A and B are shown apart, each in its own frame.
Chain A
Amino acid sequence: MAHKIDITIDETGHVTFHVRGQKGDKCLDIAKDFENVMGKAEKKRKTSEFYEKPEREKVRI
């Protein structure tokens, strides 16, 4: 599924990282890829989109 990640690195090297357009727990895998190379996240928050079902699951009856 197409998605994008918005990243800001401030002047102190502090990184904020938003995964957008990816519903459900797939976004956790995407985040994990980067977490593995950036170190342990200081803050982590699931947003409303995380709790939406992916499109494929929505049409299955």
Chain B
Amino acid sequence: MSEYLEFKTQITRKDELVLALGDMGFTSQQIEIHTDPQTLYGWHGEKRPEKSEVIIRRKYVGAAANDLGFTKQADGTYKAIISANERTCGYNAAWLNRLNQNYAAHVIRRKAKAKGYRVTETKVDGKIQMTLRK
């Protein structure tokens, strides 16, 4: 081997974020994608102070749920907007970790394809293992 790198995934790319949300079970019809951030709504239908560019509306999140949002920050990364209620209903740190994992895999696949690599991948013990050859 000649170089070894380690990254902690940071979500910066909207397209791959949307693909990763698809992996988490949301359909393309359930994922709103906006150029400008749009208002999030709470479970009563009230406006929340947060706005996001990528939104899963509450009706797709669960009963009596709030909207889930992903808001682009000044540093270019997307911040997940998840209410305390949803964090206790499965949209917790483990869910976000799996989203990060799926996001990373999509970013790598896209870059590898653009660079002409052949990609093979397997999932072992929860880890995605990819080999890129050229």
A residues sitting closer than 8 Å to B (CB atoms) are 2-24, 27-28, 30-31, 33-35, 37-47, 49-50
Contact = CB atoms under 8 A, between A and B. Distances in A.
Band of interface residues on B = 35 or more
Interface of B: 1-10, 12-13, 94, 97-101, 103-105, 107-108, 110-111, 115, 117, 126-134
Contact of A15 (B9, B126, B132, B134): B9
Nearest to B132: A5
Nearest to A23: B2
B101 A45 contact: no
A47 B1 contact: yes
21 contacts: A2-B134, A4-B131, A9-B130, A12-B100, A14-B7, A15-B7, A15-B108, A16-B5, A18-B1, A18-B4, A20-B2, A28-B3, A37-B107, A38-B9, A38-B107, A42-B7, A43-B4, A46-B3, A46-B4, A47-B4, A50-B3
